[in-house]
Amino acid sequence: MKRLFTYFLCFGLLLGGCTQKTEGVEKKTESVQQTKEIKETKDESFQLKKDVEDFLIDNYEDSENVAIGIQLVDEKALTDINSHKMQAASLIKLYIAGCIYENMETIDEPTQQMLVQMITISDNTACNNLIDLLGNGDTEAGKARVNLYCENHGFEDTHLGRKMMESNDVDDNYTSVKDCTTFLSMIYHKKLPGSEEILDLMKKQERKNKIPAGIPEGIETGNKTGELADVENDVAIIFSDRPYILCVMTEKAANPGAAREFIIHLSTYVYEQVNT
């Protein structure tokens, strides 16, 4: 009986050792696969960045005054070119919308209508009224609330310094393609209050003459534009077979029309790079 017991004990230990070894091999295989996938993602991001940089230099004279952000929404890698704090123009309205949804328990009908107008047609009066609403009638308090929202969520280059249509002699509104790409990624993955609502408003955008204009018909997009006398901006989520984010900001544009055309052509190029 002792001998039989000893036999089963040894067999059990041997089996347990084999199981542990098998589990160890499986974990190692899984780790190797994950490492391989991460490397492939990095390689693809590196190649995409190089290709887009070459496209920028070849197709836009003032390439140093253009910033580009690209991210596949299902991957963490963010490809950015020349990202730095730039004049936001109406891109700042995305952060104001985010701040509204985070700070208001209920959105009444008048507020909802102002949000619709601010995002879908970039209405400046609606935007200014929402800033005041955030400050309970105090514009400075409203701006401070938006800036705190940006600080809390890590949008380091984003700042609301003035209302729409006000002079920028003292302060201005700023953001970066890195912040915009991160913001769009967060609302796509529903990580911010109001994510679904903001994304729905972007899909209803009426100003589609930049990034969406370079996308094939039938592909859904959600975007937000921004313009000043020498600024042409647009940020978008493109819902292609491989959904991705594209953000483009320009500054000191001597020819705004040429800047818009470049954004359209860049949009087409990035779409083809991502989806072929």
pLDDT tens-digit readout, 164-193: 999 988 899 999 999 999 999 999 999 999
> Quick one: tokens of 245?
């984010």
So what's the pLDDT on residue 276? 84
Q: Is residue 32 included in any domain, yes or no? A: no
Q: Is residue 14 included in any domain, yes or no? A: no
Q: Is residue 8 included in any domain, yes or no? A: no
Q: Which domain range does residue 265 map to?
A: 61-275
pTM: 0.85
Band of pLDDT at residue 226, cut at 50, 70 and 90: very high
List Cβ neighbours of 267 (8 Å cut-off, separation of 6 or more).
210, 211, 212, 213, 214, 215, 236, 246, 248
Q: Is residue 124 included in any domain, yes or no? A: yes
Q: Is residue 41 included in any domain, yes or no? A: no
So what's the pLDDT on residue 20? 60
So what's the pLDDT on residue 22? 57
Selection from 212, 235, 215, 214 nearest residue 93 by Cα: 235
So what's the pLDDT on residue 28? 55
Q: Is residue 24 included in any domain, yes or no? A: no
Q: Is residue 39 included in any domain, yes or no? A: no
Cα angle 26, 32, 37 (rounded to 5 degrees) comes to: 125
Contact 83, 176 (CB under 8 A): yes
Cα angle 88, 92, 96 (rounded to 5 degrees) comes to: 170
So what's the pLDDT on residue 3? 53
**Mean pLDDT, rounded, of the chain:** 89
> Quick one: tokens of 154?
């890590």
Q: Is residue 232 included in any domain, yes or no? A: yes
Q: Report the CATH number at residue 213.
A: 3.40.710.10
Does residue 4 surpass a pLDDT of 70?
A: no
Tally the domains of the chain.
Answer: 1
